Amino acid sequence: MVEYITTKEKYNLVVDGIQDYCARIAVLQVDTETTGLDPHTSELLLLQLGGMKNQYVFNFPILNSLGVDWTPIEKALENENITKILHNAKFDYKVLLSAMGIRMKNMRDTMIATHLIRAGLQKKGAGLDNLLDEYNLAKKDKSVRTGFIEHVGVDFTPEEIEYAAMDVRHLHDLHEILMRDVEDLGLVDVYNIECAAISGTAEMEYNGVFLDYALWSPLEASAKKIRLEKKEVLDKLMVPYMGANLFGEALINYSSPVQLKPALERVLGHSIANTKEEIIEQYVDNEIVAALINFRKAEKRITTYGSRFYYENVNPITGRVHCSFKQTGSTDSGRYSSTKPNMQNIPRNKLYRAAFRVQFPGWKIVGADYSSMELRLLAEFSEDPAFSDIFLKDLDPHCHVSSMIFRKPIRKKGAKYIALDGSVKIAEEDIDIHLRPVGKNINFGVAYGQGPKRLANTLTAEGAPTTTPQAKGILNQFWTVFPNVKIFLLSRVKQALKDNCVRCVMDNRLRWLTTMNLRVAKYKAHASNIAKNMSLQSGNATIIKKAIALLMQAIADRGWTEICKLILTVHDELVLECKTEIAEEVREMLETCMLNAAYRYVHSIPMKVDSYIEDYWKK
């Protein structure tokens, strides 16, 4: 039965019923209807609570104008003993936080459950309407939904009220269906961690990060200068092939694939599939291709991170950048991705990062990231004695591997290394430090399943020209020194090809391979790479999300909700913005939560967190 509430008297009666329902059932389905997707600029129209038998649709604008006491609703939604079932819970969390100051607890999300079950499969519609139809629970008229967007007034049609009610009517049944698959597939633990991270994900989106235009704007001018320099280098190399105009510029539009493809084929002496990055990077040892890649990087700094970035992404109400963080569904490994904008692609150049900073005096940015997280996980999972020794002795993993490959000392000042007598010492100066990135690329190349050809291209692009046979020799040397790493990675490939799916050895997260024809060599190779790095990426993702859950609880326990805010996660890093007077305590809390999250899963390898306190995003 649908109860549509627009009066104070009916509200008071219904609230008593909801409290009684929650006391008996301890489960509540929740949904909202709004005028848009941005909680800072949109209005809450309807709040729906209830279950299969009774659905309560609250007309928020009318009830709020009547001054109803929302405290009973707030207590129910913030009660950790009452399970809240939602679909795309982070959206409703942000809406209720903005409109009512409510921070929901103990949420279950049918969208997240769907993503976990279907990871790696061809993407189906994971919207609530699609799922209700797919599981034969209900068929909804999707055209009704558009009536809420930019809705004017406080009146709603019977169709709109029924549509809103249906969103909570079937959520419990849908969740029960999905949970059967979650349980059968052994995904309960990872589902619980994903749900525990919902509030942190929503808080990051809601809080956003301040971007200082005064620091950001000048970067475009310097980027244009760099682009011009890179173009001059490229033009000089291309003129013999394309001819020049009166200004000495090559007669080609580098942004036109139609012009660029035949030009590159002339340069290389053979045909190429297209001019996309993944194709041309195979020929990075050619100086023209290398110059083209450098020009494109410079071009991207302007087109992607110029003044347009600021005007497209800074919220007019908050003055902050509020990107969308995707916990699941975007990356099958479970790692966070972000869009609108993609914060993970912000250049690591200090000037770009420093433009993201505190918005008001008296606040600080506190950040921390895991040191060599995935390599430490590889040591944990493979149990390779020599590889584990790198972290047990707190050596620099990239210098150590470079030294092993080049058979000479490669040291970073201040970092530990193994001396000729076998003792561990601290380097007093840099020695051949330019070769350290080679070790880094080898380490991560192994972790991500790179073969000799791809590793050769990567090393060449990093300024260490390497042929494919040389890269093969480097990998063979790596496997000789760290044999158990190879055994572990190959065991993951064997399991994946046998079961048509990949599992993370740490949290059992699943990634299906059934959409690939594994009899075809290129798909088998792709599946093998997925199998090799799934445990590392998924393990990384789970630890970060566990850290977020612990962090949100720690902030709440200390009563810091209004003075300490989670604002960002990028790769292995978590970033908060807090009052200056508690910055040191926040730093300690952040490190503790991150290490506790890691040590829940990692038992033989020491984990390390590097933190900072600054006025800006430092990493």
Helix ranges restricted to H, 418-566: 436-447, 452-461, 468-481, 483-499, 521-557
Pairing of strands 320-321, 609-614: unpaired
Asked if the 374-532 domain carries CATH number 1.10.1370.30, the reply is: no
Pairing of strands 324-326, 337-339: antiparallel
Mean pLDDT across the stretch 178-206? Answer: 97
Among the ranges given (272-276, 295-299, 461-465), the one the predictor scored with the smallest mean pLDDT: 461-465
> Do 443 and 391 touch, CB atoms closer than 8 A?
no
Calculate what percentage of the chain has a pLDDT beyond 90: 68
Answer whether residue 406 shows pLDDT above 90: no
pLDDT of residue 499: 93
Q: Distance between CA 416 and CA 428 in Å, rounded?
A: 10
Give the 3-state secondary structure of residue 551. Answer: helix
Q: Which amino acid is at 611?
A: S
Mean pLDDT across the stretch 605-619? Answer: 95
- For tokens 């249906």, name the residue: 166
Residue 431 burial by Cβ neighbours in a 10 Å radius (0-12, 13-18, 19+): middle
- For tokens 């100051």, name the residue: 101
* Average pLDDT along the chain: 92
pLDDT of residue 259: 93
pLDDT of residue 451: 83
pLDDT of residue 282: 82
Among the ranges given (184-188, 192-196, 297-301), the one the predictor scored with the smallest mean pLDDT: 297-301
Cα distances from 255 to residues 245, 263, 291, 297, in angstroms, run 17, 12, 14, 13
Answer whether residue 178 shows pLDDT above 90: yes
Answer whether residue 535 shows pLDDT above 90: yes
> Do 501 and 120 touch, CB atoms closer than 8 A?
yes
What CATH superfamily classification does 2-185 receive?
Answer: Ribonuclease H-like superfamily/Ribonuclease H (3.30.420.10)
Each residue of 62-117: pLDDT tens digit? 999 999 999 999 999 999 999 999 999 999 999 999 999 999 999 999 999 999 99
pLDDT of residue 119: 93
Q: Distance between CA 376 and CA 370 in Å, rounded?
A: 10
pLDDT of residue 179: 97
- For tokens 């200390």, name the residue: 558
Question: In the β-sheet with 363-370, what is the strand arrangement from edge to edge?
Answer: 564-570, 573-579, 363-370, 609-614
- Tell me whether the CATH fold assigned to 2-185 matches the one assigned to 374-532: no
Instruction: Parse the chain into domains and list their residue ranges.
Output: 2-185, 213-309, 374-532
> Do 562 and 578 touch, CB atoms closer than 8 A?
no
Kindly provide the b/e burial profile for residues 292-320, where b requires at least 16 CB atoms within 10 angstroms of the residue's own CB. bbbbbebbebbeebbeebbeebbeeebeb
Residue 277 burial by Cβ neighbours in a 10 Å radius (0-12, 13-18, 19+): exposed
Answer whether residue 566 shows pLDDT above 80: yes
Calculate what percentage of the chain has a pLDDT beyond 70: 99
* pLDDT tier, 516 (very low <50, low <70, confident <90, very high otherwise): confident
pLDDT of residue 291: 93
DSSP per residue, 557-575: HTT-TTTEEEEEEETTEEE
DSSP per residue, 261-321: HHHHHHHHTS--S-S-HHHHGGGTTSHHHHHHHHHHHHHHHHHHHSHHHHHHHB-TTTSEE
Each residue of 459-497: pLDDT tens digit? 887 777 788 888 888 888 899 999 999 999 999 999 999
* pLDDT tier, 361 (very low <50, low <70, confident <90, very high otherwise): very high
Pairing of strands 424-426, 416-418: antiparallel
Q: Distance between CA 391 and CA 372 in Å, rounded?
A: 9
Q: Which amino acid is at 425?
A: K
Pairing of strands 2-5, 55-59: parallel
Cα distances from 426 to residues 127, 403, 596, in angstroms, run 55, 15, 28
Cα distances from 188 to residues 176, 193, 387, in angstroms, run 13, 9, 32
433 DSSP assignment: G
Beta bridge partners of 325: 338
How many Cβ atoms are within 10 Å of 420's Cβ, its own excluded? Answer: 6
* pLDDT tier, 450 (very low <50, low <70, confident <90, very high otherwise): confident
Residue, of 122 and 56, whose pLDDT is higher: 56
Answer whether residue 428 shows pLDDT above 80: yes
> Do 220 and 306 touch, CB atoms closer than 8 A?
yes
Architecture of domain 213-309: Up-down Bundle (1.20)
> Do 442 and 476 touch, CB atoms closer than 8 A?
no
219 DSSP assignment: H
pLDDT of residue 367: 98
Q: Distance between CA 612 and CA 619 in Å, rounded?
A: 9
Element (H, E) at 95: helix 89-100
Mean pLDDT across the stretch 558-562? Answer: 97
Nearest-10 crossing angle of helices 385-392, 373-382: 140
* pLDDT tier, 577 (very low <50, low <70, confident <90, very high otherwise): very high
Q: What's the sign of the alpha-carbon dihedral 506, 507, 508, 511?
A: negative
pTM of the prediction? Answer: 0.92
Q: Distance between CA 414 and CA 418 in Å, rounded?
A: 13
Among the ranges given (15-19, 84-88, 598-602), the one the predictor scored with the smallest mean pLDDT: 15-19
| N- to C-terminal Cα separation, the chain | 54
The closest of 126, 127, 171, 124 to 145, measured between CA atoms, is: 127
Q: Distance between CA 176 and CA 225 in Å, rounded?
A: 58
Q: Which amino acid is at 259?
A: Q
Residue 43 burial by Cβ neighbours in a 10 Å radius (0-12, 13-18, 19+): middle
Mean pLDDT across the stretch 200-229? Answer: 95
How many Cβ atoms are within 10 Å of 409's Cβ, its own excluded? Answer: 15
Give the 3-state secondary structure of residue 410. Answer: coil
Answer whether the bond into residue 262 is a cis peptide, omega within 30°: no
